[in-house]
């Protein structure tokens, strides 16, 4: 009979730690530059939106929040991973693991809500342009931002509190980059009933519902676009929406690939690679997609760079 106890430590075992020192060093450098580059790009987006008064609109306010969420996600996961890789100490106190899982859940939930609100913003701007500033007034935008973070915290509280009933065996080792809820559930010894009840509700509220609402918004948008007689107007709308659609595809596509991977030792390597892409690459790509495809952000970046050069001279 297995010894069921409350674990003191969780041992995180990235697949890099199963191989030689060369790969560990390479992966440490990779994660460091991914984190540094992602932080830099997101901070630039935040600074540009804050400094340029022309970007003080609901669309860019929500983009600002998306960058904050992406910074939060990578900051919760990558620094601890770098410490594990460089020190070789993969033992994480269960309390720290619990806290990390809490903040990861907040970031996941907040990003899903932000992306849904950004789709709604595009729907209102294209389908009801004359009422845009009335529907998305300053007061409404502030309430939506508060709802993003309250919703993320409530969802995270539900997920993490469901772990209080879960029993773990004496040895708690997960083949993952951080304290992932799915990885911990796969090695649990019992008491998972409440967790699965909560997760079904979470998948419905923060998975299926936002996806359906996003689809409905863009179906309505494409119907309106078909009535546009000017090709320039169509291309402008497509350019505005395409960035958000790409980000949606990256976020939900990578998330679905991670959570739909079967819990099996044969898929450990695949799941870690997908998780690495979902948790490190996607938060870095989000601001790049918006900055490279958005003319107003590019113009603001040029103005900011020009002003910095003038200040130096």
Residue 91: in which H helix or E strand, if any?
A: strand 91-93
Distance CA 145, CA 137 (A): 12
Asked whether the beta carbons of 134 and 166 are under 8 A apart, the reply is: no
Percent with pLDDT over 90 in the chain: 14
Secondary structure (DSSP) of 74-116? HHHHHHHHHHHHHH---EEEHHHHHHHHHHHHHHHHHHHHHHH
- Residues 253, 259, 260: CA angle, nearest 5 degrees: 85
Q: How many Å apart are CA 154 and CA 230, to the nearest integer? A: 45
The Cα 109–Cα 7 span in angstroms is: 27
Q: Return d(Cα 113, Cα 148) in angstroms, integer.
A: 6
Per-residue pLDDT band at 174 (split at 50, 70, 90): confident
- In the sheet that holds 91-93, the strands lie side by side as 91-93, 9-12, 173-174
Tens of pLDDT, residue by residue over 4-55, are 445 568 888 776 565 556 667 777 888 899 899 989 989 988 988 888 888 8
Q: In this structure, what token pair is assigned to residue 201?
A: 């509700």
Across 117-121, 123-127, 163-167, 306-310, least confident range = 306-310
Find where tokens 């993952």 sit: 176
Predicted confidence at residue 265, as pLDDT, reads 62
Give tens-digit pLDDT for 230-241: 777 677 777 778
pLDDT tens per residue, range 140-158: 999 999 999 998 898 888 8
pTM: 0.87
């Amino acid at each position: 009979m297995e010894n069921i106890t409350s674990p003191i430590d969780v041992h995180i075992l990235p697949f890099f730690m199963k191989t030689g020192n060369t790969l560990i060093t390479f992966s440490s450098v990779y994660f460091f530059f991914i984190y540094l580059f992602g932080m830099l790009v997101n901070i630039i987006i935040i600074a540009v939106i804050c400094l340029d008064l022309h970007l003080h609109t609901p669309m860019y306010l929500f983009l600002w929040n998306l960058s904050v969420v992406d910074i939060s996600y990578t900051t919760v996961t990558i620094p601890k991973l770098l410490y594990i890789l460089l020190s070789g100490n993969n033992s994480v106190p269960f309390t720290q693991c619990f806290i990390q899982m809490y903040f990861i859940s907040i970031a996941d939930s907040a990003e899903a809500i932000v992306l849904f609100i950004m789709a709604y913003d595009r729907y209102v701007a294209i389908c009801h342009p004359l009422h845009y500033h009335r529907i998305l007034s300053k007061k409404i935008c502030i309430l939506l931002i508060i709802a993003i973070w309250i919703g993320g915290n409530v969802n995270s509280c539900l997920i993490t509190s469901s772990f209080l009933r879960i029993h773990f065996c004496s040895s708690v080792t997960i083949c993952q980059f951080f304290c992932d809820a799915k990885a911990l559930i796969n090695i649990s010894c019992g008491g998972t009933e409440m967790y699965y009840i909560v997760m079904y509700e979470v998948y419905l509220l923060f998975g299926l519902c936002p996806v359906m609402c996003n689809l409905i918004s863009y179906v309505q948008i494409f119907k309106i676009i078909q009535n546009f007689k000017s090709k320039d107007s169509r291309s402008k709308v497509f350019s505005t929406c395409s960035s958000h659609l790409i980000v949606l595809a990256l976020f939900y596509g990578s998330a679905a690939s991670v959570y739909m991977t079967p819990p099996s030792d044969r898929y450990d390597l695949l799941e870690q690679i997908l998780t690495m892409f979902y948790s490190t690459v996607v938060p870095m790509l989000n601001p790049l997609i918006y900055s490279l495809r958005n003319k107003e952000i590019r113009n603001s970046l040029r103005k900011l760079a020009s002003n910095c050069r003038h200040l130096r001279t």
